[in-house]
Structure 1
Amino acid sequence: MPPVFPDVWRLRLTVDPDSLGPFEAVFDHYAEAVTMFMEDRSGMSDGDCQWFLEGFSRTPPDRAAVLAALEAIATVQGVAVPPLAIERVPGVDWVLANLRDFPPIEAGRFFVHGSHWRGQPPVASIGLEIDAGTAFGSGEHATTRGCLLALDLLARRRPRRRVLDVGAGSGILGIAAARLWHCPVVATDIDPAAVRVMAANAAHNRVRAHFTALVSDGYRAPGIVRCAPYDLIFSNILARPLCRFAPDLAANLAPGGVAVLSGLLESQERRVMASHERQGLRLIRRLLVDGWATLIIGR
C-alpha cells in the first residue's frame, strides 16, 4: 500500500518587510512551522519586491482568533491588517517534491546537490550531497547560501578546531565545515525528524566520525556544554531567536572565535547586532543575498 501523507493548513500574509517580525510572532502561536520569502516582481533585482509570511499547521487554525491577533499587532504597529489566506494543502510526498525542485547550488567553493542529481561537481569544488527531506535547508534559500559564502571566506583563515551549528535543519553548514576542516562538529535542531535527516546526510557525505547530531532547543542540550567552547558557531534561524540566544552564543564562543548569523532581513540587522554587541561581540563582515543578511561576528 502506498504511503499516506496527511493534509496540512497553510496561513499566508503579504506583508511589508518592517512588519514581518511582529506578524511572525502571531504565526508562531498558531502554526507549527513558519517561513518567509520574497518574490522579485520585476525580475531585475531593482527593489520591486513582495514579501510573504507563511505558517503551516497539521490542524485547522482558528481563523477568527488569528485575525484578532493580527488586528491587535496591526494596531500597535500603526499599519493596516494584511489580508489573511488560510487554505488546506493536499497531502503530498514533500521529500519527493523537494528532490524535483532542488537544482544544484554553487556558493563559493561549495557545490550543493541532491541525491537525485547525477552530474559531476566542478573541479576543485567541495561537493555536498544534501537531501532536506523533512528538514529545512537544502541550500537554495538565500540565508543558507549566505552562510556558505561566509564559510568560504572564513576558510581563508586558520582552520577551526570545533564547530557548533544551532538550528541546523538538514545539517548542511556543519557538514560543509566538517568536509572543509575535518574537525568535530555539533549540530542541533529542535525537531527530532530534522536531527535524523542531518545524521543521514553526514553519513552520505562521509563525515559521520566528525559529526554529532543532537535534539536541542537553542543551547540547552548537555552535549553542547560538554563540547564547548566553539571556534565557529552557525546560527541560521530567525531574528527574534537570534536576539534571545545572544547570551548563550557568547557563553559558548571561544576566545578569538567567530559566529555566523543568518535568517534575518536586512531591516532586522540593527536589532540583531545590538543584542550581540551587549554581549561584547562586534560585526566583522556582513553579506547580503536577496534581501537577507548574513553577519560574521566575533569578540
Structure 2
Amino acid sequence: MFELVLQAPESLVESVSDALMEELDALSVSVEDSDADTDAEKALFGEPGMPAPSAGWQRSTLKALFESEAAASEAATLLLAQDWATQPGASVSMTALHEVAEQDWVRLTQSQFDPVEITPTFWIVPTWHEPPAAATRLIRLDPGMAFGTGTHPTTRMCLGWIAAHEADIRGRRVLDYGCGSGILAIGAALHGGAPIDAVDIDPAAIATTAQNAADNGVTLRSGAPDMASGEYPLVLANILATPLKMLAPLLCGHVAQGGHLVLAGILDRQADELKAAYAPWIALEVSNTVDGWILMTGRKPG
C-alpha cells in the first residue's frame, strides 16, 4: 500500500476528504493536527449525538491509503490541479507519498493492549495474555465494536470504585446505563452484584455485552434503555458530560433511596455543570481524578 500525505486548512478538510474517498478510491483517510506535540496544538472535543466541533484543525494533515503508487500519484495530481491548491492562504499541498510496509495488524493491535491493574488483585486481561499471578479476580476482555477496554481513565476509575465498595454491591441490583462493552456490569457482577441490567442505545454494544458476560461466566441482562425498570441500589453511567446532564432526571429516578450513583466520562472543568444538573435529586462530589478526567459520585437521600 502507498500513503499520500497532504496538508489542508480547516475550511477544505471535509471537501478534500470527500474527494479522496468518494472520487479517488482511497482505502481510508485520517485527519490529524499538523501542530500536534507543539505549543500550537489544539484539542477538539466532541460528544455522541452532537455535531463535530469542526471538520479539522486550523492546519490539518490528511493521510490517505491507496492500493498502488500509481493510484496515489494520480490522486495527488488530480487534487493539486483543483482551484483549492492555489488559493492564497488556504491552499492544499502534498507533503509526502511513500510506501507503507506490510504489517501483522492483528499482532500490532494486540501489542497495544496489556493487562490493566485495577487493584493488586483485580485486573482486566486480554485473552491473548496470561493473568498476573496476583490476580484473584479478573475480566477477560478484547477490544471490540463497543467502547470499553479498560484502558481509559474513566473505566479504570469506575472499576476502582466498584472494587472499593463490594460490601455495598453484593446481593444488590445494579444498572449499567450506556454499557458499551459491558465492562462495568461485568465488574459489578464479579463483586457480587445481582441481578444486573446493562443497557445501551447501540445494538452492537448490547450484543458485545452479552458475549463478554458469557465469556466471563457472569449473569446479566443486556438490552435497550427501556429495559431498565424500577430502582437500583447502584446506578453506573460512564458516558460523557452532555448526555449525563440530559439524563439527570432519568438516572436519579432509577437510584433507590440510600443508593449510589456513579458517573464518569466527565472532564474536571465540567464538575460544576454536573453538580448543578443533579442537585435537585442527588448531591454529587468528585471522588477521583486521573489525567484530567473525574469520577463523580453521590447517594440518594433516604
Range into which the TM-score falls when normalised by the shorter chain: 0.5 to 0.7
How far has the Cα of 1:287 moved from its partner? 0.6
TM-score, scaled relative to structure 1: 0.68
Report the CA distance shift for 1:87/1:189 in structure 2 as closer, same or farther (over 3 A): farther
CA distance in 1: counterparts of 2:104 and 2:243, whole angstroms: 30
Partner of 1:175: 186
Q: Which amino acid aligns with 2:60?
A: A
Question: Please, which moves more after superposition, 170-179 or 192-201?
Answer: 192-201
Structure 1 stretches of 4+ with a deviation exceeding 6 A read: 91-96
Partner of 1:242: 244
For residue 148 of structure 1, give the secondary structure of its aligned residue in structure 2: helix
Structure 1 vs Structure 2 CA RMSD: 3.0
Question: Please, which moves more after superposition, 249-258 or 285-294?
Answer: 285-294
TM-score, scaled relative to structure 2: 0.67
CA distance in 1: counterparts of 2:173 and 2:125, whole angstroms: 25
Contact kept in structure 2, 1:131 and 1:170, CA below 8 Å: no
Contact kept in structure 2, 1:188 and 1:195, CA below 8 Å: yes
CA distance in 2: counterparts of 1:107 and 1:29, whole angstroms: 34
CA deviations 1:149-190 (Å, max 9, x no partner) are 111222244635111111111111100111111511111222
Of the candidates 65, 69, 85, which is equivalent to residue 60 of structure 2? 85
Of the candidates 268, 271, 275, which is equivalent to residue 269 of structure 1? 271
Larger radius of gyration: 2
Partner of 1:281: 282
Contact kept in structure 1, 2:169 and 2:193, CA below 8 Å: no
Partner of 2:13: none
Contact kept in structure 1, 2:118 and 2:156, CA below 8 Å: yes
After superposition, where does 1:18-33 map in structure 2 within 5 Å? 24=46, 28-30=50-52
Contact kept in structure 1, 2:275 and 2:285, CA below 8 Å: no
1:212 partnered with 2:221: yes
CA distance in 2: counterparts of 1:132 and 1:238, whole angstroms: 20
Question: When the two structures are aligned, how many residues end up with a matched partner?
Answer: 231
Report the CA distance shift for 1:264/1:285 in structure 2 as closer, same or farther (over 3 A): closer
Contact kept in structure 1, 2:268 and 2:293, CA below 8 Å: yes
CA distance in 2: counterparts of 1:145 and 1:98, whole angstroms: 20
CA distance in 2: counterparts of 1:137 and 1:144, whole angstroms: 7
CA distance in 1: counterparts of 2:213 and 2:107, whole angstroms: 20
Report the CA distance shift for 1:7/1:263 in structure 2 as closer, same or farther (over 3 A): same
Q: Percent identity?
A: 32
1:110 partnered with 2:122: yes
How far has the Cα of 1:284 moved from its partner? 5.5
Contact kept in structure 2, 1:146 and 1:287, CA below 8 Å: yes
Contact kept in structure 2, 1:115 and 1:129, CA below 8 Å: yes
CA distance in 2: counterparts of 1:287 and 1:298, whole angstroms: 16
CA distance in 2: counterparts of 1:145 and 1:122, whole angstroms: 18
CA deviations 1:260-296 (Å, max 9, x no partner) are 1000111111111111112x20135611112110012
Gapped regions of structure 1 (runs ≥ 5): 1-5, 31-52, 54-65, 71-81, 216-220
Report the CA distance shift for 1:190/1:158 in structure 2 as closer, same or farther (over 3 A): closer
Partner of 1:224: 228
Partner of 1:291: 292
CA distance in 1: counterparts of 2:237 and 2:105, whole angstroms: 25
Gapped regions of structure 2 (runs ≥ 5): 1-26, 67-102
Of the candidates 226, 243, 253, which is equivalent to residue 255 of structure 2? 253
